[in-house]
Amino acid sequence: MTGGPDLVTPALLLSLGLFAIGAVGVFLRRNVITVFMCIELMLNAVNLAFVAFSRARATLDGQVLVFFVLTVAAAEAAVGLAIIIAAQRHKDTLDVDSFNLMKW
């Protein structure tokens, strides 16, 4: 596994595709947990782009950034799921359209 140089372009295209799929899911799904999973998918697409750039430049900074993205994603998942539990307790539903208290 030395990472062939010809894999950088397909990896970036894969990242583009996964990001687009995740974004479509965020707008299409009603269940707030599924929306949250689609956000995780988009984060992963970004991580893939970082790794591909790290490969393209043969530097390690991209991988360190992926490390921090993973850390923030873990914190975000914990807080986000706690918010979802609190919101479900409050509204008794998981439909994203029902969480409109702060809309104007």
Partner 1 sequence: MTLDAVLFYVFAAVAVASALVVVGQRSPAYSAFALIVTLCSLSAVFGLLGSPFIAVLQVVVYAGAIMVLFLFVLMLLDVKREERPRGRGWALKATAIALGSVLVVQVGTVLAALGPVPGAFRASTRQVARLLFSAPYLYVFEASSILILAALVGAVVLAKSDS
Of residues 5-64, those binding partner 1 (CB under 8 A): 5-25, 27-31, 33-34, 36-38, 40-41, 44, 47-48, 51-52, 54-58, 60-61, 63-64
Distance CA 3, CA 21 (A): 25
In angstroms, give the least distance from the CB of 28 to partner 1: 6
End-to-end CA distance of the chain: 53
Q: In this complex, which beta carbon is closest to partner 1, that of residue 25 or of residue 104? A: 25
Instruction: Pick from 2, 101, 103, 104 the residue near partner 1 by CB under 8 A.
Output: 2
Nearer to partner 1 by Cβ, of 80 and 104: the residue is 80
- C-beta of 3: minimal distance to partner 1 in Å? 3
CB crowding 14-33: b at 16 or more within 10 Å, else e: ebeebbeebeebbeeeeebe
- Minimum CB–partner distance for residue 98 and partner 1 (Å): 12
- Whole-angstrom Cα Rg for the chain: 17
Asked if residue 95 lies in contact with residue 31, where contact means CB atoms within 8 angstroms, the answer is: yes
In eight-state DSSP terms, residue 60 is S
Question: Taking the complex as a whole, how short is the minimal distance between the CB of residue 87 and partner 1, in angstroms?
Answer: 9
